[in-house]
Amino acid sequence: MKLLMYKPCAIYIRSPVIHSCFHNFKAGLNFFSCFSLLVFMNSKSFTEAKQQFIQNWGNMATHWGVSKTMGMVHALLLIANKPLHVDELAQELGISRSNANMSVRSLLDWNIVYKTGCCGERKEFYVAEKNLWKVFIQIIEQRKSKELDPMISMLQDLSHVQANCPESAEFVKVMQDLGHFSKKADNALDNIIKSESSFLMQSFIKMMR
C-alpha cells in the first residue's frame, strides 16, 4: 500500500495501459480456466455436464468483452461432433434464431468459428476452431486491437502536447513513459500472437494439473 503513496508508482499501477494489458492477457487465461470444470464432471450425466460447460463458457466469455450468448454459441460449436446450422443452435440453447445468427456472425469475425457446407444441404453450417492455442491467440488479438492499440495511438498524440509550464511538462513526461511501457507490452503480446509453438499452453496445462 505504501507504494501507492509514491506518485510515479501510483501513475503506473493505476494506468489504463496496464489495466488494458492485464485484462487482455487475463481474458486469455480465463479461456483456459473453464477446462478445470471437466475435473468435476465425472459424476454427472452427459446432458448435465454439457449444460454446465455451456453455461460456464458463456459466463467466461464475458471476460473477452462479448455477450454470454455469443460464448454459449461458441461452447456448443466447440463440443459438437458435427457442423451445426443456426436453427440447431437456437433450438439447443433456447434462444431466438436472430440472436443465434448474430452470435455466429460475430464469432466468424473473431475467426474462431468457420462456415462450412454439408452435402445435399442448402443451409449454412458452422464449425468451431478446435485448435485451442489458435482460439487463445485470437482472443488475445481481438482484445489487443480493441483496447491496447487505440490506447497506444492516443498516448502518441498526447505526448506531443507542448510543455510550457511545470504541470504540462509533467503531463507530457507521464504520457511518454506510458507510451514507452505500452509499446513494450504491445511487443510482448505480438510475440505471443505470432508464436507458433505451444510452449505457453503447455505451461498453462501444467499449472492446472
Q: How does pLDDT run across 105-132, given as a tens digit for each residue?
A: 999 999 999 999 776 777 899 999 999 8
pLDDT of 208 over the 50 cut: no
pLDDT of 204 over the 90 cut: no
Please tell me the predicted confidence (pLDDT) of residue 125: 95
Grid cell digits, residue 132:
485451442
**What's the half-sphere exposure (Cβ side, CA atoms, 13 Å) at 185?**
27
**pTM (2 decimals)?**
0.67
Give me the residue spans of the domains in the chain: 14-208
How far is residue 97's CA from residue 52's CA, in Å, rounded to a whole number?
Answer: 22
Taking residue 110's Cβ as centre, other Cβ atoms within 10 Å add up to: 17
Arithmetic mean of pLDDT over the chain: 78
Tell me how far apart the terminal alpha carbons of the chain are, to the nearest angstrom: 33
When comparing pLDDT for 188 and 6, which is higher? 188
Contact between 199 and 30 (Cβ < 8 Å): no
When comparing pLDDT for 140 and 86, which is higher? 86
Pick the CATH number of 14-208 from 3.30.830.10, 1.10.10.10, 1.10.760.10, 3.30.420.130: 1.10.10.10
How far is residue 158's CA from residue 144's CA, in Å, rounded to a whole number?
Answer: 20
How far is residue 84's CA from residue 102's CA, in Å, rounded to a whole number?
Answer: 15
How far is residue 76's CA from residue 80's CA, in Å, rounded to a whole number?
Answer: 6
Contact between 145 and 109 (Cβ < 8 Å): no
How far is residue 167's CA from residue 91's CA, in Å, rounded to a whole number?
Answer: 60
